[in-house]
Amino acid sequence: MQIVLLGSGNVATHLGRSLKLSGIDIVQVWSRNHNHARQLADMLAAKAVKKTAEITTLADIYLIAVADDAIANVAQSIPAVNKFFVHTSGSTGLDALTPYTSEAGVLYPLQTFLKNKAVDLRQVPVAIEATTEKRLAVLRSVAERLTEKVISIDPEQRLALHLSAVFACNFTNHLYAIARQLLEQHHLSFDLLKPLISETAARVMDHSPADVQTGPAVRGDKNILARHTAFLQHEPRLQEIYEKLSQSIANLHHKAGRL
């Protein structure tokens, strides 16, 4: 099994490392940024190629781990004909690849990566999808070398998965950023919130989130809600987020009417 890796960002780096560690041969690395490609290729004992024309036409998988809006462009520039092209995006369809090959797939790891922070992929779910059953089986055999948690999904499910990850990860991180900003405006350290953040995440490992909802909105405590809203009067962006999320909590928990 020989893989060409296209991309050198966080996903390319983490997938490349994990594939190499699992014994899969990364033969070439290409990236728009050739210096990054060389660094990653060195790490993977692969060859960095500068021009897409130099990409081998003989690999089993062309793994395209680049920004979503660059996927089609990269696929278009690979010289191989009707080989297996695979992207790693949660929200891009197979149709970003199928104009350039009849054999397309997705390998979507459900994790958020920082370039310099090691992540143990074995506990990370990897969702796979392919144009044919045969290709899906190939992708499954690759994914199972990375993780114990491989699921085969359809395009609609992949979009739902990505969207749910945006809510649970990207938006959550933004709420942490808002909290930090509020604290610093009042000369308080973000460290104060860390035990609470850890506990809130830990709790949903063995409880349904709706069952452990706390706070003024789920209690319907209009007094506190009004106090918080007034406190944010000079921050209309935060005030609006506060109101929308409080209302959404009330709706989910079947409190009647508006807060």
Of 13-72, which residues contact its own copies (CB under 8 A)?
67-69
Q: How far is the CB of 121 from its own copies (least distance, A)?
A: 9
CB atoms inside a 10 Å sphere around CB 107: 26
Residue in 63, 257, 220, 49 with CA at minimum distance from that of residue 146: 63
Work out whether 188 is an interface residue with its own copies (CB under 8 A): yes
Per CB under 8 A, contacts with its own copies among 75-134 are: 91-92, 110-112, 114, 117, 119, 123-125, 127
Instruction: Take residue 179 and report the two structure tokens written for it.
Output: 């909290």
Biggest alpha carbon–alpha carbon distance for the chain: 68
Q: How far is the CB of 36 from its own copies (least distance, A)?
A: 17
Taking the least distance from each CB to its own copies, the nearer of 21 and 166 is: 166
Instruction: Take residue 146 and report the two structure tokens written for it.
Output: 């990375």
User: Which of these ranges, 57-65, 80-88, 135-143, 170-178, lies near its own copies under the rule CB under 8 A?
Assistant: 170-178
Work out whether 185 is an interface residue with its own copies (CB under 8 A): yes
Q: How far is CA 52 from CA 49, 74, 79, 158, 192, in A?
A: 7, 9, 7, 29, 50
Indicate which single residue of 149, 152, 255, 259 sits in contact with its own copies (rule: CB under 8 A).
149
Taking the least distance from each CB to its own copies, the nearer of 237 and 254 is: 237
Task: Evaluate whether 189 touches 183 at the Cβ level (below 8 Å).
Answer: yes
Work out whether 171 is an interface residue with its own copies (CB under 8 A): yes
Taking the least distance from each CB to its own copies, the nearer of 26 and 97 is: 97
Instruction: Take residue 154 and report the two structure tokens written for it.
Output: 């359809």
